[in-house]
Amino acid sequence: MSRNWTGPAIIAALALVAVLATLDCADDSALLGPGPGLTLDEGFNVEVGVYLMQSFAEYGFGALHPASLLEIFG
């Protein structure tokens, strides 16, 4: 059974163009709009990501258990 991929391909291409249009964070290109840039919570996001990776390294897939979630997130 063959699928028609034209519609999803068009939507994916439009989404790609929309994302690429917002990636000029340094405002280097006159053709692209200004990007989102850095925000004040970037350090917080990195810190939480490191904490979650350390928790997953310690607990493994057991981190998904409700008791482990209480230990990790308090």
Report pLDDT digits (tens) over 5-15: 899 999 999 99
Q: What 8-state DSSP symbol labels residue 40?
A: T
**Torsion (CA) 33, 12, 45, 71 in degrees, nearest 10:** 170
Q: What 8-state DSSP symbol labels residue 32?
A: S
If asked whether residues 29 and 47 sit together in one domain, one would say no
CA pair distance 67, 62, nearest whole angstrom: 9
- Choice between 12 and 19, residue whose per-residue pLDDT is larger: 12
pLDDT at site 10: 94
Q: What is the pLDDT of residues 20-73, one digit of tens each?
A: 777 766 667 677 656 665 566 666 778 888 888 888 898 888 888 888 888 887
CA pair distance 18, 12, nearest whole angstrom: 10
pTM of the model: 0.39
If asked whether residues 68 and 45 sit together in one domain, one would say yes
The phi and psi torsions of 52 (rounded to 5 degrees) equal -65, -40
If asked whether residues 45 and 74 sit together in one domain, one would say yes
CA pair distance 71, 68, nearest whole angstrom: 5
The domain containing residue 69 runs over which residues?
38-74
